Amino acid sequence: MRNRGWMALFWLLALASAPGSGAAQGKDSFTPMPLDAGFGRMDLSQPSIPVDQIIKQFAAKETEFQDALNHYTYRRVARVQTIDDDGKVDGEWYEVDDVIFDPSGARTEKVVYAPASTLTRVMMSPSDLQDIQHGYPFVLTTADVPEYDIKYVGRQRVDEVDCYVFDVTPKVIEKHKRYLDGRIWVDATDLQIVVTDGRMVPDDTKKGQEDLHPPFMTWRQQVDGHYWFPVYTKGEGVLHFSGGYGYMAQDVHIRDVVKYTDYKRFGSTTKIIYDGQDITNNSQQPNGRQTGGQTPQK
């Protein structure tokens, strides 16, 4: 997000603080949020399966999931708010988008509802929109693994789901690319990410063009009987803009909520492959396992 001081700069999404995140992001700060009460005790012992093998297996499952997700339509509702010193909302950006397929079969996004933004202290930046569209529903595929340092942390239950826990940090940050710096919880049975807690990086901290991004937390839910789909992202934090070159320094309290609903497979010719098998015709209706007890509410 960019700051609006005396000049227009940019907006920010805030979410739960990630245990392994923010190492290179000391320029800004944020209000941390505690992890969901459904998180159990961390087992720090080494797994019975080699860590490299676990990473290889869950990355393969994430690759399958990404391919499956590319054949689904869904609705995304995103809300970004600024909060004043009295805890009241004093500005909001809100957008409802349908991720669909056009008549030619190409994947596209259709804006369903987008009232005029009332944000006055910050403004949305291209990287904010990129994070909403691609970063917050984080997927770690086989092709993505070489870009990250992935460190095994332990084993932990998220509600009733037994998970492997990994810290994920980008090895090298390439220009015009966004990366997760944070922590993921991987279902020990399905070997798919069920919770992501971290930040999308990098931030731009250069005076006059600060573009800051807070931490976020995304929950997935098993909605088709096979894959864990993003259903909810939330966060809240305070960004510290340093000011300079004609605009004032200021702290901006941001609150962000993103919801993903109405997942539907597109087209009768689509094949969904899971564990090497075609499961296109035996998927369940959206009522599968989820983390966080009931889906978190704003």
Cα-based angle 32, 37, 40 (whole degrees, multiple of 5): 110
**pLDDT tens, 35-84?**
666 789 999 999 999 999 999 999 999 999 999 999 999 999 999 999 99
Contact 207, 265 (CB under 8 A): no
* pLDDT category of residue 192 using cuts at 50, 70 and 90: very high
* pLDDT category of residue 242 using cuts at 50, 70 and 90: confident
Cβ within 8 Å of residue 116, ≥6 positions away: none
* pLDDT category of residue 272 using cuts at 50, 70 and 90: low
Length of the chain: 298
Domain tally, the chain: 1
Q: Which residues pair with 83 in a beta bridge?
A: 89, 253
Nearest to 110 by CA among 262, 234, 257, 218: 262
pLDDT greater at residue 275 or residue 3: 3
Residue 287, domain member (yes or no): no
The CA distances from residue 215 to 5, 90, 113, 156, 239, in Å, are 23, 21, 26, 21, 11
**Which pLDDT score is estimated for 291?**
67
* pLDDT category of residue 19 using cuts at 50, 70 and 90: very low
> Which of left, alpha, beta for 179 (phi over 0: left; psi -120 to 50: alpha)?
beta
Q: What percent of the chain has pLDDT over 70?
A: 76
Of 15-19, 67-71, 84-88, 99-103, minimum mean pLDDT range: 15-19
Nearest to 169 by CA among 201, 215, 142, 195: 201
Contact 94, 78 (CB under 8 A): yes
* pLDDT category of residue 280 using cuts at 50, 70 and 90: low
Cite the DSSP H helix spans in 85-137: 126-130
Q: Which residues pair with 207 in a beta bridge?
A: none
Domain enclosing residue 202, as ranges: 2-282
Residue 120, domain member (yes or no): yes
Residue 296, domain member (yes or no): no
- How many helices (H) and strands (E) the chain has is answered by 2, 14
Residue 293, domain member (yes or no): no
Nearest to 181 by CA among 2, 14, 23: 23
Residue 292, domain member (yes or no): no
Residue 38, domain member (yes or no): yes
* pLDDT category of residue 293 using cuts at 50, 70 and 90: very low
Q: Please give the model's pTM, rounded to 2 decimal places.
A: 0.80
Q: Is the pLDDT of residue 166 over 70?
A: yes
